[in-house]
Structure 1
Amino acid sequence: MKILAAIDSFKGSMTSEQANQCVKEALPEHAVTCFPIADGGEGTVDAFVNVMNGEMIARSITGVNGMPYMGKWGWSEEEKTAVIEVAEGAGIIQADDKKETFHPSNHTSHGVGEQILQALEYGAETIILGLGGSATVDGGVGILQALGVVFMDSSGQPLPTLPVQLSRIHAIDASNLDKRVNEVNWQIASDVTNPLLGKKGAVYIFGEQKGLNQSELPDYDADMKKYAELVTHVTGNDERDTEGAGAAGGIGFAALSFFPCQFESGLSLLAEKGELETLIKQADLVITGEGKFDGQSLGGKVPVGISRLAKQYEVPVILFAGKIEGDHVAIEEENLQALVPIVDAPMTLDEAMEQGPALLEKAVKRTVHLMAFGERMRH
C-alpha cells in the first residue's frame, strides 16, 4: 500500500518530521512517503527547507528576551528564497518562562528583523515569513527597529529595543527603512485572520497567553491603537482591520503596513512548493494528525485542510491525535475515515508528551493491522 504521512507537529512532544518518521518506522512493509507540515509557526523553516532541498543558516541575533541567540532560517540558493519564522526569532518557546518576567514588555521581535537583514544580504528575492508562535505583542516594532525605523518618545529621543513601551511612542521616522524590503517578493505564511485591535485583535485574543494580565488588556489595546494610528499616518496605509493584522502580536500589521506583501495559508504555500497534490493523488491512504483534535481543528487547521484536499481525489484519510475532544470516531463529510487517539493507558500529560513517538508508532501499527484484518474478512 502507498501511504502518505503528513502529520502536523505534536507541540512539545514531536515535530512534524519526527511524527512522519514514526509512521514510516511503524510500517516497513508499506511504501511510506513523508511530507513535513507547518502552518507558519514552529517547524515552518524545517518544512520548507525539506521540500525545497534548501539549507539551514545559523547566525547570531537578538533573542526574544534581548540576549544574543543563535537563530536559524532557511535558504534555497536555487530559488533565491529565504524562510524565516517568528517562532525562531521571537518565539514563545525561546522566552524566559519565569512568571515574574514572562510579559510582552520583555519580549521583542528585533531578532526577526535581523534575520530579514541577513536574508537580504544573501540576495533573497523572495522571503517567506511565518507568523506563528510568537511571544511578542509589540506590533512589529522590534522588526522595524532592526530594519532602520526609529520610534521616538515625546522628547524626540529614540526608544530602546527593550522594554517594549508602545505607550511612549509619539513619533515614527521611517526614512531609513532598508529600501530592499520593497524589492523582494514577500509571502506571509499565516492562518490567523484576526484584526489588530479590539475584542478579536492581537491583545485581547492572544495577550494573556503571552503574559498579559486580564486587567492590562484594555490599556494595552489602547496603546496599540495609538501606535497603529501613527503607523497609518506615516505609511498612508490603514491595515488595522485587515485580516491577519493581529497575527504574531501585530507583526502582521507591521508587515502589511511597511512591506509589499500578501498573506497566504502556510499549508497552501507548503503544498505548492512540495507538490502535495501530486503526492496525494499517488497515495492509497493519507495519514495525518496533530497533538489535539477539537472544534478549532474543523475551522481549517492543517490536518483537516489535508483531508479536504485528499477528498478531491477520493483518497481516504486517517487522523491520529494525542487527544480527541468530543465523541467523534470519524467525520466522513471531511474525509476523515477514523480519528484515533494514541494514548493507550492512564498517564499524565507530561508522560504522554514524553512517550509521544512510541505511542504514535504503536497506534499506527494497530490501526493498519486492523485495516488489513478487515480486508481479509471481506474475502
Structure 2
Amino acid sequence: MKVVIAVDSFKGSLSSLKAGEAIKKGILMADSKAEVVVSPMADGGEGTVEALIHALNGEKKAVSVNGPLMMPVLAEYTVFPYNGNDHVFIESAASSGLTLVPEEKRTPMETNTFGLGEQIKHAIHGGYRHFILSLGGSATNDGGVGMLQALGWEFFDRAGELISNNGNPLLHVASMSGENVMGELKECTFTIASDVMNPFYGPEGAAYVFAKQKGASNDDIDQLDQDLRMFAGILHVETGVNVQAVLGAGAAGGLGGAMVACLHAEMKSGAEIMIEMTGLSDKIKWADLVITGEGSLDEQSLMGKVPVTVAKYAKTHGKPIIGLAGRIDTKLDKINEYLDAIFSIQTQCRTLEEAMLEKVTVQQLEVTAGQVLRACMLAIPK
C-alpha cells in the first residue's frame, strides 16, 4: 500500500515532521511492505519553516532588526529554491510578534512593523526578489506603516513634518510619499500567506477584532480604527487600491492591506501555498491512502487549515483520506464532508498536560496509525 502523510503540527507537542514520522512508524509496524511518504505541512504559521527546509532544502538566515518596541532582535528568515528561483519566506512574527513584547508593555499604541521591513530590505540586498510573507501573531496595529518606512516610504503628519519610526506611526499619518522607495522593489514579487479574511477597518476590521488581545483599551481601539480608516483613504489616493475591498487586508494589524497596496502582494491561503510548493498534489495522485491531521480537528479546521485543505486535494484525485487528532469535535458532520473518517489518538484517560507530552503524543500516533492502517487494508487493495 502507498501512503502519503501530510499533517500539520500538533501544537504544543510535535512538529509536523515529527508527527509525520511517528505516523509512518506506526504504519510500517502494521505493514512493513507499505510505501510511505511524509510530506510535512503547515498553513503559513508555526511549522512552515521546518516544512520548507525539509521539502525544498531551505536555508535559514538571521539578521538583527528592530522589534515591535524598536529594540534590537535577531530575526530569521528562510531561503529556498522553487521554480528556478530562490524564494524568501518571512514570518512577520519573527520581527513584529507579540511574544517579543513583555506582557506589561503590550499595547499596539507603541508597537510597529519597522523590523519586518528591515528583514525584507536585508533579503533584497542579498539579491533575493521573490517573497512569501506569513502574517500572524503580531503585536502591532500600525497598518503596515512601519514596514513601509523601512522600505523607503515617507509619512507626514498634519503639520507636514516627517514622522519618525518610534511608537506607532499610524497614529500621526496625514500623507505619504513614495519618492525615496527602494528601486529594487519593482523587481520583486510578494505573496501573502494568511487565512484571515478581516477587512482593514470597521467592526470586523484589524482594530476591533484583534487589537484587544495585543493590549489595546476600548478607547485605543476606537482611535486605531479611525486612523486605519484615514490611512485607507490615503492609500487609495496614492496607489489606487481600495484596501477595504481586499479580503484579509486587516491581517496582522493592517499589514495585509499595506502589502497589497504598496508591494502589489497577492493574498493566498497558507495551506494552499505549502501544497503547491511541496508538490503534495502529485504525491496524492501516487498514493492509495492519504493521512492528515493536527492537534485539534474542529470547526476551526474548516477555515483554511491544513487537514481540510489537504482533504480537498485527496477528494479531487479520488483518494480516501483519514484524519488523526489529539482532540476531535463531537460535531463532525461538516468535517466529514471532507475527511472520510477521523480518529482521536487518545487511547486512555490522561490529564491534558500528560496527553500533550512529546513522548506520549509520539506513542499515541504510532499506535493509532497502525490500527487505522489495519482497518484500511481490509478495504483498500495493497
Of 189, 196, 201, the residue aligned with 2:200 is 196
- Asked if 1:84 corresponds to 2:86, the answer is no
* Counterpart in the other structure of 2:18: 18
**Offset of residue 90 of structure 1:** 1.7
Q: TM-score, normalised by structure 2?
A: 0.88
Q: Aligned equivalents of 1:248 and 1:343: distance in 2?
A: 38
Q: Aligned equivalents of 2:336 and 2:363: distance in 1?
A: 24
Partner AA of 2:3 in structure 1: I
Decide which moves more: 118-127 or 339-348: 339-348
* Counterpart in the other structure of 2:224: 220
Q: Percent of pairs identical after alignment?
A: 35
Question: For the Cα contact (< 8 Å) 2:26–2:370, is it kept in 1?
Answer: no
Q: Aligned equivalents of 1:182 and 1:165: distance in 2?
A: 25
Decide which moves more: 326-335 or 57-66: 326-335
- Asked if 1:95 corresponds to 2:85, the answer is no
Of 301, 307, 321, the residue aligned with 1:303 is 307
Residues 28-79 of structure 1 deviation map (CA, whole Å, 9 limit, x = unaligned): 4343322122222233333333332231112212223322222111113651
**Secondary structure, aligned partner of 1:159:** coil
Question: For the Cα contact (< 8 Å) 1:330–1:338, is it kept in 2?
Answer: no
* Counterpart in the other structure of 1:5: 5
Change (3 A) 1:24 1:63: farther
Of 274, 278, 281, the residue aligned with 1:270 is 274
**Offset of residue 360 of structure 1:** 4.5
**Offset of residue 154 of structure 1:** 3.3
Change (3 A) 1:212 1:294: farther
Q: TM-score, normalised by structure 1?
A: 0.89
Residues 271-316 of structure 1 deviation map (CA, whole Å, 9 limit, x = unaligned): 2222111111222222211222221212332210101111122222
Decide which moves more: 361-370 or 139-148: 361-370
Q: Aligned equivalents of 2:351 and 2:158: distance in 1?
A: 56
Of 215, 239, 248, the residue aligned with 2:252 is 248
Q: Aligned equivalents of 1:378 and 1:164: distance in 2?
A: 58
**Offset of residue 166 of structure 1:** 2.4
Q: Aligned equivalents of 1:134 and 1:343: distance in 2?
A: 36
Partner AA of 1:82 in structure 2: V
Q: Aligned equivalents of 1:320 and 1:360: distance in 2?
A: 12
For the aligned residue pairs, the C-alpha RMSD in angstroms reads: 2.7
Decide which moves more: 14-23 or 328-337: 328-337
**Offset of residue 97 of structure 1:** 4.3
Partner AA of 1:130 in structure 2: S
Q: Aligned equivalents of 1:62 and 1:83: distance in 2?
A: 18
* Counterpart in the other structure of 2:288: 284
* Counterpart in the other structure of 2:317: 313
Q: Aligned equivalents of 1:278 and 1:324: distance in 2?
A: 28
**Secondary structure, aligned partner of 2:253:** helix
**Offset of residue 160 of structure 1:** 3.2
Q: Aligned equivalents of 1:184 and 1:357: distance in 2?
A: 43
| Superposed counterparts of 1:293-372, under 5 Å | 293-328=297-332, 331-342=335-346, 344-348=348-352, 350-353=353-356, 355-356=357-358, 358-369=360-371, 371-372=373-374
- Asked if 1:38 corresponds to 2:7, the answer is no
Of 59, 71, 75, the residue aligned with 1:67 is 71
* Counterpart in the other structure of 1:111: 115
Question: For the Cα contact (< 8 Å) 1:117–1:147, is it kept in 2?
Answer: yes
* Counterpart in the other structure of 2:179: 175
Change (3 A) 1:215 1:343: farther
Question: For the Cα contact (< 8 Å) 2:271–2:305, is it kept in 1?
Answer: no
**How many aligned residue pairs are there?**
375
Runs of 4+ residues over 6 Å off in structure 1: 376-379
Partner AA of 1:289 in structure 2: G
Q: Aligned equivalents of 1:258 and 1:374: distance in 2?
A: 51
**Secondary structure, aligned partner of 1:105:** coil
Partner AA of 2:76 in structure 1: K
Q: Aligned equivalents of 2:145 and 2:61: distance in 1?
A: 24
Partner AA of 1:18 in structure 2: K
Unaligned regions of 5+ residues in structure 1, if any? none
**Secondary structure, aligned partner of 1:192:** coil
